[in-house]
Structure 1
Amino acid sequence: MSSTTVEEARRVVLGLGGCLDYEVSWDSSVLADLVAEHRITSADLDATGGPAFAVVTERDLVCSILGFVRADTGGERFVDSSAVLEAFAARVERRTTVGGTCVRAALAMAVLGVPSTVHLVSIDDQVRGLIPPSVRWICSASEDTVDPHVIIQVPPGASVPLADGAVVVARRANRQIYANDPPNRSMLLSPQLGEELTGARVFGVSNFNSMQDEALLRSRLDDLLGHMASLPADALVVFEDAGYHRPALRRLVHELLLPAVDVLSMNEDELQQLVGHPVDLLDPDAVLVALRQLSGVLPERTTLVVHTGHWAAALGAHAERLRPALATANALAGTRYLHGDAFTAEHVAGVRALPRQSRAAELAAALEAASGQGSDAISCAPAAHLDTPTPTTIGLGDTFVGGLVMALADLDPVLA
């Protein structure tokens, strides 16, 4: 890679950890057989909603999968044994892909011809082969390892009978993530990271959600902040939140990192976890209360972004600057929803031209009518009306991040 290309790739730096993914196709018959084998009932699913639920056995894994479906949410869980994941993945059809928020965001940008640099904590020949040439990478690992994540694509209408006669039915498409990934739990940072940040317009941060040791997490955050001192004064830092394997550690990450973050981004599941109750995502009053509740506890420099299947909204000082970036991010995520990994720049252009969801457009107008000044400023982009019998929900948030950072770095080909 030439020095000019390195300079271009450093305009967007994304971290901190990638991984190999087993994208698992939903198979109701396999799950029904496992339910019968383990005699899983509705009562078994009741326990899976709490943050302390541990996935140790195959039975726990099936309970967790169906618990998420019954609750109509996506989510992420740590699995005590990689063998449990391997055994489950061997039962069903699967695709091997490369994942992690930073990597999937970079892949989305690459579709539009925009290069980037990603920071990895693990690598092997499969990962090397799946990352395209326009995505430059550095890695903190001293040797090759592989610890695949299992990601389950849940189609709308999928149903599985339980042993007590109840039936679990998926009301909408969703995705679930299960992982046992030591490199991401350790999150060792490369000594090169600070140098990579010297030319960044935007630095995208994610993946601390896999860490489980509080002292190590503090150390890694201190290391990261040290590297971030190399960022140009006008660079933006975007932090994408996630489902934490130890939910209590989210507070520590926010406490130590957010004072150095310009944009805190999250999906609808994380929004509802943080406000502590379900939110009607098409009720302007309920959404406004939830956004202000979260934004009210953020540092003054940090603008909140929430992305959902209906809209993406920003509340805070950067809201106006984020307006076109929200639309770009929606377009990329919507394209992945329709076309999966095979989406093209032409597909993105098609989604940009689609009509918006009518109720989402009404909500966006209502939120912007309530917009104030400074930290109370709001911008909202309604999502396009998307219709497909085979939606992809794996990687939607990651793809959204790719669109967001690309536009914030002034690299969106359409906006340019």
Structure 2
Amino acid sequence: MSTEPAGMTVVLGLGGGVDYELKLSAPVMERLVGEYRIRDGELTSPATVNTERELVISILTYLKKGGGGEHFVASSACLSAFAERFPTRATLGGTSVRAAKEMSRLGVPSTLHLVSINDVIRRLLPAGCDYICSDDRDTFYPHLIVQYDQDLRIRAGDIDIRAPFPNRLIYVNDPANGSMLLSPGLGELLSTARLFLISGFNAIRQARLLDRRLSTLIGHMRQLPAGAVVYYEDAGFHEPGLSQRLRDALLPSIDVYGLNEDELQAYLGRTVDLLSVPEVAAALESLRALIPVPTLVVHTKYWAAAFGEDAGRYAGALDGGILVASTRYSHGDDHTGEQFEAMRRRPRRPESVAFAAALEAKMGDAVRCVPGFRLDVAQPTTIGLGDAFVGGFLAATYALPPGRLSPA
């Protein structure tokens, strides 16, 4: 049964598409290092990825530090060539689409704004999820999603690296999301929205095109009813310089601005010890000076925190986001209600519990911090964790009181 109040909707946008997911293996990567004669000194992320060799260097650079990221790839052929070396799985991707799937499981229906549609998307869209699409043709631009496990070791030539953490990488050549054409029907859809998720603009690579799309979006958003919550989820911009341009245009309209630990550290230009109260407190203060929104939400492997004037309002939503993301991490894309309920009963990480209490004591009512669960998973799912967090967060924000988040 739907938990949605009569006449009010959840609108999730603005892109999305098909993902080809794969998991790295040492034998394939070591063979590629040998074939392309890649040296350890080359392991710095290339500014552009035009060839399979540059793609391998980019992946190894991230693996070496256990990082995650998203990149535009100039050649779709090199994505296909790399994907053919591994078993792959087709799933739906994009923050809005994955969030919709998690919300559907929690009994909260939504409407997606898509920029690309095809039979794979139609087949895999979750129950209780409607959509509009800005393109009346079928198009197919799959994204490559690369997942790697903690302790994956690559030894070839003078390269000997071991991943300190599990993570995921996104490589994209997608003209539809890169254009982000908005449907003329978006404004009417927003006129009954209680929640509106904005994501996907990071794929646009031309400043003038981004400006036009933002202007159009702001026009549509004028139809949002009073009291509607606008949530923006950050992501790695294919052209990093455009991030500020988006913030200049949209910050006055955003209620909650979400981002992960990689994006936090990228904005600050420094590494942050995520279990150091002084470092995180300083990071949150610096970030809010850069992104002055009512509420910042930062979600990490250890905890999730809301910082700002409405932080207390979102404590239950933070917990909901952690619960959904942790279940996905532990059990994958097709986790069950039983696994979800079992996750709710798991203990929290002791170091995260201590950190959260100390951060709130230091920063007072301006911050709410919820510790993550203690998880020991041999082969975790690292793809879509931020998207799952957003789905859980929005479901709790929208219709469910704190502490009562459960699958339908």
Q: TM-score, normalised on structure 2? A: 0.96
Q: CA deviation at 1:296?
A: 2.1
Separation in 2, partners of 1:201, 1:289: 33
Separation in 1, partners of 2:320, 2:201: 26
Matching of residues 163-178 of structure 1 within 5 Å: 163-164=157-158, 166-178=159-171
Q: CA deviation at 1:395?
A: 0.2
- Say if 2:285 is the partner of 1:292: yes
- Is the Cα–Cα contact under 8 Å of residues 9 and 116 in structure 1 kept in the other structure? no
- Say if 2:108 is the partner of 1:114: yes
Which secondary structure state, in structure 1, belongs to the residue aligned with residue 290 of structure 2?
coil
Q: Deviation per CA, 1:297-324, whole angstroms, max 9, x where unpaired?
A: 333x531110001000011011000110
Letter in 2 for 1:406: A
Separation in 2, partners of 1:7, 1:141: 30
- Say if 2:16 is the partner of 1:23: no
Letter in 1 for 2:367: I
Separation in 2, partners of 1:8, 1:364: 37
- Find the counterpart in structure 2 of residue 389 from structure 1: 378
- Find the counterpart in structure 1 of residue 328 from structure 2: 336
- Say if 2:306 is the partner of 1:314: yes
Which secondary structure state, in structure 2, belongs to the residue aligned with residue 176 of structure 1?
strand
- Is the Cα–Cα contact under 8 Å of residues 98 and 130 in structure 1 kept in the other structure? yes
- Find the counterpart in structure 2 of residue 283 from structure 1: 276
Which of 160, 180, 194 does residue 201 from structure 1 map onto?
194
Q: CA deviation at 1:12?
A: 1.3
Which of 326, 342, 348 does residue 340 from structure 2 map onto?
348
Q: CA deviation at 1:8?
A: 6.1
Which secondary structure state, in structure 2, belongs to the residue aligned with residue 56 of structure 1?
coil
Q: CA deviation at 1:386?
A: 1.1
Which secondary structure state, in structure 1, belongs to the residue aligned with residue 103 of structure 2?
helix
Which of 35, 38, 41 does residue 37 from structure 1 map onto?
35
- Is the Cα–Cα contact under 8 Å of residues 65 and 164 in structure 2 kept in the other structure? no
Which of 1, 12, 15 does residue 14 from structure 1 map onto?
12
Gaps of 5+ in 1: none
Letter in 2 for 1:280: D
Separation in 1, partners of 2:36, 2:274: 36
Letter in 2 for 1:387: D
Gaps of 5+ in 2: none
- Is the Cα–Cα contact under 8 Å of residues 304 and 371 in structure 2 kept in the other structure? yes
Which secondary structure state, in structure 1, belongs to the residue aligned with residue 170 of structure 2?
strand
Q: CA deviation at 1:113?
A: 2.2
Separation in 2, partners of 1:6, 1:386: 32
- Is the Cα–Cα contact under 8 Å of residues 77 and 245 in structure 1 kept in the other structure? yes
Q: Deviation per CA, 1:50-79, whole angstroms, max 9, x where unpaired?
A: xx6111000000000000011221001111
Which secondary structure state, in structure 2, belongs to the residue aligned with residue 247 of structure 1?
coil
- Say if 2:97 is the partner of 1:103: yes
Which secondary structure state, in structure 2, belongs to the residue aligned with residue 264 of structure 1?
strand
Letter in 2 for 1:279: V
Which of 385, 404, 408 does residue 414 from structure 1 map onto?
404
- Is the Cα–Cα contact under 8 Å of residues 9 and 117 in structure 1 kept in the other structure? no
- Is the Cα–Cα contact under 8 Å of residues 3 and 107 in structure 2 kept in the other structure? no
Q: CA deviation at 1:7?
A: 7.7
- Find the counterpart in structure 2 of residue 144 from structure 1: 138
Letter in 1 for 2:185: Q
Which secondary structure state, in structure 1, belongs to the residue aligned with residue 341 of structure 2?
helix
Separation in 1, partners of 2:3, 2:189: 13
Matching of residues 154-303 of structure 1 within 5 Å: 154-164=148-158, 166-299=159-292, 301-303=293-295
Q: 1:220 to 1:293 in 2, by over 3 A?
A: same
- Find the counterpart in structure 2 of residue 404 from structure 1: 393
Q: CA deviation at 1:372?
A: 4.0
- Is the Cα–Cα contact under 8 Å of residues 73 and 174 in structure 1 kept in the other structure? yes
Letter in 1 for 2:226: A
Q: Deviation per CA, 1:163-191, whole angstroms, max 9, x where unpaired?
A: 22x31211111000000000011000011
- Say if 2:81 is the partner of 1:92: no
Q: Deviation per CA, 1:133-181, whole angstroms, max 9, x where unpaired?
A: 31111110121111110001111111112322x3121111100000000
Separation in 2, partners of 1:354, 1:210: 37
Q: CA deviation at 1:5?
A: 10
- Is the Cα–Cα contact under 8 Å of residues 263 and 305 in structure 1 kept in the other structure? yes
Q: CA deviation at 1:82?
A: 0.8
Letter in 2 for 1:343: H
Separation in 2, partners of 1:10, 1:148: 32
Letter in 1 for 2:399: D
Q: 1:186 to 1:277 in 2, by over 3 A?
A: same
Q: CA deviation at 1:388?
A: 1.1
Q: Percent identity?
A: 48
- Say if 2:367 is the partner of 1:378: yes
Q: CA deviation at 1:410?
A: 2.1
